[in-house]
């Protein structure tokens, strides 16, 4: 056997024996190709797009029809820009030398097509409680809105009075005519301020294309039902039906009709 020193090739002399050349690292193999995942977006069915389009068109057409009516524009204008009524909160009004001093919301102006919503918002802001007073001063206006305003006042157990207030909170005389009387009738109690006036007349609907006789009967029936609910005598309907002009009720007459329930004889109203 030949000596280690004479060995050729991969073996060499080593104190511990022949040295074996280290193995070569295995050749790097290229990674296996990953499968390509194709994400397909789910397409909406055509019928769902069609239904959505029809719904949008239906709402748009309905909104256009509603807003194209003149009364709709008037309601929108009164609601957001120029209400026909104004109000002021009075911390304490003196109805009769301080014995019945209550917080009040004084409202005045013509009753418009959005006045009921307007009144509800003003009452919420005023934070009146049961027994507080809504002080009214108005020539009248929209009949339907007046009925709703009276219902709102009754639902909140508020009193009503006809008049205005001066800087000191003293109630001064004023007037409430036509549809305003319906608002006043919603109060419980209904104070009768000395010198203030209540005016009634026959309500006429001037809507074109409607039977005036049948319409007058429906209107009279609605007012009668409302007044009966509010505890007012049906004789007020007779007074309303007697004339198309304003008829100013005498204090004793309004008291007999139960329109005024709590007369204030010493209110010292301004003359």
Give residue 53's pLDDT: 73
User: 236 near 257, Cβ under 8 Å?
Assistant: yes
- How much is the average pLDDT of 9-18? 51
Paired with 107 in beta bridges are: 87, 136
Answer whether residue 149 shows pLDDT above 90: yes
All domains of the chain in start order, with CATH: 84-264 (3.90.226.10)
pLDDT tens column, 167-196: 777 889 999 999 999 999 999 999 999 999
Q: Which residues lie closer than 8 Å to 32 by C-beta, 6 or more apart?
A: none
pLDDT above 70: percentage of residues in the chain: 65
State the pLDDT confidence band at 92, using cuts at 50, 70 and 90.
confident
Q: Which residues lie closer than 8 Å to 45 by C-beta, 6 or more apart?
A: none
Q: Which residues lie closer than 8 Å to 154 by C-beta, 6 or more apart?
A: 186, 187, 188, 230
C-alpha–C-alpha distance, residues 110 and 73, integer Å: 18
pLDDT tens column, 217-255: 899 999 999 999 999 999 999 999 988 899 999 999 999
User: Can you give the pTM of this predicted structure?
Assistant: 0.71
Answer whether residue 267 shows pLDDT above 50: no
Answer whether residue 206 shows pLDDT above 70: no
State the pLDDT confidence band at 1, using cuts at 50, 70 and 90.
very low
């Amino acid at each position: 056997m030949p000596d280690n020193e004479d060995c050729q090739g991969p073996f060499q002399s080593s104190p511990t024996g022949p040295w074996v050349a280290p193995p070569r690292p295995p050749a790097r193999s290229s990674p296996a190709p990953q499968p390509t995942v194709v994400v397909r977006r789910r397409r909406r069915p055509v019928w769902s797009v069609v239904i959505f389009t029809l719904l949008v068109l239906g709402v748009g057409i309905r909104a256009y029809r509603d807003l194209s009516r003149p009364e709709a524009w008037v309601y929108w204008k009164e609601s957001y820009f120029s209400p026909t009524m104004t109000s002021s909160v009075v911390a304490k009004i003196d109805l009769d030398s301080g014995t019945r001093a209550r917080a009040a919301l004084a409202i005045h102006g013509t009753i418009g097509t959005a006045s009921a919503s307007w009144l509800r918002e003003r009452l919420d802001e005023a934070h009146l409680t049961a027994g507080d007073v809504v002080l009214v001063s108005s020539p009248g206006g929209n009949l339907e809105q007046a009925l709703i305003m009276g219902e709102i006042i009754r639902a909140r157990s508020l009193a009503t009075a006809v008049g205005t207030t001066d800087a000191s909170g003293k109630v001064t005389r004023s007037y409430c005519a036509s549809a305003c009387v319906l608002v006043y009738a919603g109060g419980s109690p209904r104070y009768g301020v000395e010198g203030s006036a209540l005016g009634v007349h026959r309500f006429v609907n001037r809507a074109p294309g409607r039977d005036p006789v049948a319409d007058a009967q429906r209107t009279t029936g609605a007012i009668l039902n409302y007044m009966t609910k509010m505890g007012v005598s049906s004789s007020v309907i007779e007074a309303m039906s007697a004339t198309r002009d304003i008829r100013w009720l005498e204090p004793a007459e309004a008291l007999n009709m139960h329109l005024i329930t709590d007369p204030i004889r010493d209110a010292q109203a301004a003359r």
